[in-house]
Structure 1
Amino acid sequence: MAKGLDKYLERANIVSGFGKNLARRSKSKCELCEATGVKLSVFEVLPSKEEPDYDRCIFLCDNCINLLKNIKKSKENDFRFLSGSMWSETPIVKATAIHILNEIKGKYSWAEELLENAYIEEHEKEILNTISFEVK
């Protein structure tokens, strides 16, 4: 049991160490909703690889993290901000936004309309096809 905890803590330490570079990349804004002046945390987009991967991490505010944990329970306007982040130049941010839009498109017509206009490159499609937000 201790080995599992040690491994978890080591991984968490490495992932949190990405924060400085993520703050630079995001200009200290939430990479999904662009909130500023709020606490931001490193969010590792699942599934994760054996070793922590900076390119699978996003800098998010607590509100966005909570929304990601409850996508199915979202209200109509909870994810409207994705209209901006779906055009992000950061592949994991863009793929995450499009993944969420795909999750809610049957529920909200505006999400379907955004997806009709989305442009995603091949390497971004590969990332998109791996994303999962299953909460452990």
Structure 2
Amino acid sequence: MSVEKELEARSGGVCELCGSSEGLSVLEVAPSDGSAEQSIYVCSTCRDQIENPENMDETHFNCLNDSMWSEVPAVAVMSYRVLNALGRQDLIDMMYMEDDIKAWADAGLKSQLNSAVVKDSNGVVLNAGDSVVIIKDLEVKGAGFTAKRGTTVKNITIPQDVPDHVEGRVNGTKIYLKTEFLKKV
């Protein structure tokens, strides 16, 4: 039986990440030997966003709330990697994977080393995963709310393409924050 036929049978003819039945194809979960155990069946939308992370749409990947619990290791690994790319540490922290599956998931993550050093308002170096406190009320353009002084932002990420900014969630919305208005906790 071909890998595609095995995956189609395993998935019930739908994307193993989002459940769509449009434009399905095999996606190997690297490092892979090409077997069905190390591949997933995905729709064209999921495939495009996984292969082009700069196009990743977080709202599309709300489906990972379900697929991250898959008993199929390759699906769990890909869910982990996409959640990592989206900076969804809250969901990653809920996941449980055996040590060998976790090692496989980590092996495929791109290095997130940032050559630029990002510092808070006091000159303290900030790293991905740190928590910071907002030191000034900040109007969030386009979101219709103000990030209040004293708000703690946990599990920040350091974007490589936007200097002197960090990315984090305030009021459930992912936003960029200028480091000059932050203090490391």
Instruction: Answer whether TM exceeds 0.5 for this pair.
Output: yes
| CA distance in structure 2 between the aligned counterparts of 1:89 and 1:48, rounded to whole angstroms | 18
- If asked which structure has higher relative contact order (CA below 8 Å, sep 6+), I would say 1
Mapped contact 2:49–2:57 kept (Cα < 8 A):
no
- Does residue 39 of the first structure (1) align with residue 23 of the second (2)? yes
Q: Quote the Cα distance in structure 2 between the aligned partners of 1:88 and 1:122.
A: 16
Q: TM-score, normalized by length of structure 2?
A: 0.54
Cα RMSD, aligned residues only: 2.0
CA distance in 1, matches of 2:17, 2:63: 7
Q: For the pair shown, which has the larger CA radius of gyration, 1 or 2?
A: 2
Q: Cα gap change, 1:101/1:18 in structure 2, threshold over 3 Å: closer, same or farther?
A: same
Corresponding residue SS for 1:80: helix
How high is the sequence identity, in percent, across the aligned residues?
32
CA positional deviation for 1:118:
1.4
Structure-1 separation of matches of 2:58 and 2:16: 20
More strand, by proportion: 2
Quote the Cα distance in structure 2 between the aligned partners of 1:22 and 1:124. 19
Task: Please tell me whether residue 95 in structure 1 is matched to residue 72 in structure 2.
Answer: no
Give the match for residue 18 of structure 1: 3
**What corresponds to 2:44 in structure 1?**
62
| Larger fraction in helix | 1
SS of match in other structure, 2:41 = strand
Does the 8 Å CA contact 1:39/1:61 hold for their aligned counterparts?
yes
In structure 2, list runs of 5 or more residues that go unmatched.
111-185
Contact 1:85 1:94 in 2 (8 A): yes
Note the alpha carbon deviations across 1:25-73, whole angstroms, 9 max, x for none. 111110111113x231011122334xx3222111011011001012233
Amino acid in structure 2 at the alignment position of 1:21: E
Q: Does the 8 A contact of 1:67 with 1:74 survive in 2?
A: yes
Distance 1:122 1:63, change over 3 A: same
Q: Give structure 1 stretches of 5+ with no counterpart.
A: 1-13, 106-110
